Amino acid sequence: MRVRICAVGRLKPGPEKTLIDDYLSRLDAAGRAIGISAAPVIEVEEKKKLDAAALMTREAELLSAAARGATIVALDERGKVEGSDAFAKRFGAWRDSGIGDIAFVIGGANGLDPALREKAVHVMAFGAMTWPHMLARVMLTEQLYRAVTILSGHPYHRA
């Protein structure tokens, strides 16, 4: 299963990008043995000045195009909050069900368009707190790597 992260906004060089690249590299190395690989983050951005509703709609179009052909998982504040073990189990079930490509989508400052959330097989959240979008990317890549280590029996995860 190939893992994609599709996100609104451009990440500048810095500590967040370093962490994301590190976790994606780890995920790719550890995941190969269990049939999981990582693709580079796909970033989308609308340059036109649009009102909030129109911008969410446009960002959803761009994210959908970036995720084309993949099963979509949405990151959204209204999503399900679950522990790392439960997420790993869900992640492994997606792999075991034959999903070839899975895309985790992260919206912009206004959130995800409801139509894009409806397309998702799962909507997940990192708790009730609001997180900066760049940190959400870091947290997602770390949790994806953690899920791979749980699935492969690696000692990284100590519950």
104-157 confidence digits (pLDDT tens): 999 999 999 999 999 999 999 999 888 888 999 999 999 999 999 999 998 887
| Mean of all residue pLDDT scores within the chain | 95
Contact 81, 127 (CB under 8 A): yes
Domain membership flag for residue 14: yes
pLDDT of residue 100: 96
pLDDT of residue 6: 98
pLDDT of residue 159: 62
What is the pTM assigned to this prediction? 0.95
Question: What is the mean predicted confidence (pLDDT) over 49-74?
Answer: 96
Q: Where residue 5 falls among pLDDT bands split at 50, 70, 90?
A: very high
Domain membership flag for residue 157: no
Domain membership flag for residue 111: yes
Contact 20, 104 (CB under 8 A): no
Domain membership flag for residue 83: yes
pLDDT of residue 63: 98
Q: What is the percent of the chain with per-residue pLDDT over 70, rounded to a whole number? A: 99
AA identity, residue 151: L
Contact 60, 112 (CB under 8 A): yes
Q: What is the number of structural domains in the chain?
A: 1
Domain membership flag for residue 158: no
> In this structure, is the dihedral angle defined by the CA atoms of residues 94, 95, 97 and 99, taken in order, positive or negative?
positive
Q: What is the percent of the chain with per-residue pLDDT over 90, rounded to a whole number? A: 90
Measured CA angle at 82 (ends 53, 134), to 5 deg: 50
CATH code of the domain covering residue 32: 3.40.1280.10
Question: What is the mean predicted confidence (pLDDT) over 42-67?
Answer: 95
What interhelical angle do 15-31 and 133-152 show, nearest 10?
A: 20
Domain membership flag for residue 11: yes
Domain membership flag for residue 159: no
What interhelical angle do 133-152 and 84-96 show, nearest 10?
A: 70
pLDDT of 101 > 90? The answer is: yes
Domain membership flag for residue 40: yes
Place of tokens 């893992």: 3
Q: Give the distance from CA 63 to its chain's centroid.
A: 12
Q: Which domain holds residue 18?
A: 2-152
Assigned token pair, 158? 């100590």
Question: What is the mean predicted confidence (pLDDT) over 83-109?
Answer: 97
Contact 17, 139 (CB under 8 A): no
> In this structure, is the dihedral angle defined by the CA atoms of residues 101, 86, 131 and 73, taken in order, positive or negative?
positive
pLDDT of residue 158: 72
